[in-house]
Amino acid sequence: MESPLTQQSRPETFKPKIVQLYENLFQTSDYSEPSEGFWREFFLLPPDRGHLSSILDQISPDEILNLQVQTQQLFVRAIRGAASATGPVDSYALETLTVFLACILKKKYTNPSSDIITALAGLDNVDQVIAQFVTVLDAIIRNGSTVDLRVKAIRTAIAMTSGAYKTSLVSYFTHRDLFPSLMKFVHESETPMQVFEPFLLLGLLANYNKFEFQNPYQLRLDDFVNESSIQKIVKAVGLSCSALRNGYVAVQDDSPEGWTLISTLIFFGLGVLAPSKREKSTPPTAEEAKEIFSTLPTQQAAILLAAYDFTNANKLFGHHLITAAPEKDNEESSFASFLSLSSYLLQHAYRSPRVAHYAELNLFTLRILTEDSSLCKHLCSEDTKRKVRLCRQRQPYLPLVAGDRVLATAIFDIMIDTMSHNLRRRLDVNIYSQAIAILLRLLTYLSMNKIRLTYHWSELWRSLLSLMRFLTTYASDLSTNPHINTLTTTLVDLVAFCVSSGDTFLPDPASYDDLFYKLVETGPIIAQFRDVYSLKPPSTKSATTTTSKLAGPPAASDIHVAAIDTLISVSTHFYTLLFNPDQSPDAAGDAHGPAPIPANLKKHLSPREVHRIIKQGYETLSIQPPDGLSAWTRWRETDWKTEMKRAARCAVEDARQLVA
CATH number of the domain where residue 69 is located: 1.25.10
Task: Determine, yes or no, domain membership for 146.
Answer: yes
Task: Determine, yes or no, domain membership for 36.
Answer: yes
Could you give the CA distance from residue 253 to residue 260 in angstroms, rounded to a whole number? 7
Q: What is the pLDDT of residues 562-586, one digit of tens each?
A: 778 888 887 777 677 766 655 544 4
Confidence of residue 417 (pLDDT cuts 50, 70, 90): very high
Amino acid at 490: T
Task: Provide the pLDDT for residue 601.
Answer: 47
Closest to 89 measured CA to CA, from 138, 48, 43, 146: 43
CA dihedral for 379, 382, 387, 390, sign (positive or negative): positive
Least confident of 40-49, 333-342, 357-366: 40-49
Task: Determine, yes or no, domain membership for 291.
Answer: no
| Residue 370: Cβ-neighbour burial (10 angstroms; 0-12, 13-18, 19+) | buried
Asked if 267 and 330 count as a contact pair (C-beta separation under 8 A), the reply is yes
Domain range spanning residue 616?
A: 456-538+554-629
Task: Determine, yes or no, domain membership for 339.
Answer: no
- Are residue 653 and residue 590 in the same domain, yes or no? no
Could you give the CA distance from residue 528 to residue 568 in angstroms, rounded to a whole number? 10
Q: What is the pLDDT of residues 213-251, one digit of tens each?
A: 889 999 999 999 999 999 999 999 999 999 999 999 999
- Are residue 608 and residue 655 in the same domain, yes or no? no
Cis peptide before 297 (omega within 30 of 0): yes
Task: Determine, yes or no, domain membership for 60.
Answer: yes
Beta carbons within 8 Å of 4's beta carbon, 6+ residues apart: none
Q: What is the pLDDT of residues 519-548, one digit of tens each?
A: 888 888 888 898 888 877 655 444 434 333
Reported as half-sphere exposure (CB side, CA atoms, 13 A), residue 111 has a value of: 6
Closest to 516 measured CA to CA, from 535, 533, 496, 494: 496
Beta carbons within 8 Å of 483's beta carbon, 6+ residues apart: 429, 430, 433
- Are residue 474 and residue 570 in the same domain, yes or no? yes
- Are residue 598 and residue 654 in the same domain, yes or no? no
Task: Determine, yes or no, domain membership for 621.
Answer: yes
Helix spans in 314-456 (H): 315-323, 334-347, 353-371, 373-379, 407-421, 429-448
Q: Which residues pair with 318 in a beta bridge?
A: none
- Are residue 83 and residue 208 in the same domain, yes or no? yes
Task: Provide the pLDDT for residue 6.
Answer: 62
Could you give the CA distance from residue 177 to residue 138 in angstroms, rounded to a whole number? 8
Q: What is the pLDDT of residues 465-488, one digit of tens each?
A: 999 999 999 998 898 888 899 999
Residue 406's alpha-carbon distances to 317, 379, 454, in angstroms, are: 20, 7, 9
- Are residue 61 and residue 134 in the same domain, yes or no? yes
Q: Which residues pair with 405 in a beta bridge?
A: 386
Q: Which residues pair with 589 in a beta bridge?
A: 594
Task: Determine, yes or no, domain membership for 4.
Answer: no
Reported as half-sphere exposure (CB side, CA atoms, 13 A), residue 226 has a value of: 15
Least confident of 378-392, 532-546, 604-618: 532-546
- Are residue 590 and residue 651 in the same domain, yes or no? no
- Are residue 464 and residue 610 in the same domain, yes or no? yes
Task: Determine, yes or no, domain membership for 329.
Answer: no
Mean predicted confidence (pLDDT) in 348-373:
95
Number of domains in the chain: 2
Mean predicted confidence (pLDDT) in 193-206:
95
- Are residue 652 and residue 611 in the same domain, yes or no? no
Q: Report the 10 Å Cβ neighbour count for 22.
A: 21
Give the residue, 93 or 402, on which the prediction is more confident: 93
Cis peptide before 396 (omega within 30 of 0): yes
Average pLDDT, the chain: 85
Stated pTM of the model: 0.89
- Are residue 590 and residue 655 in the same domain, yes or no? no
**Is 120 in a helix, a strand, or coil?**
helix
Instruction: Transcribe 24-52 into DSSP letters.
Output: HHT-SSS--PPPHHHHHHHTTSPP-HHHH
Confidence of residue 266 (pLDDT cuts 50, 70, 90): very low
- Are residue 70 and residue 139 in the same domain, yes or no? yes
- Are residue 597 and residue 654 in the same domain, yes or no? no
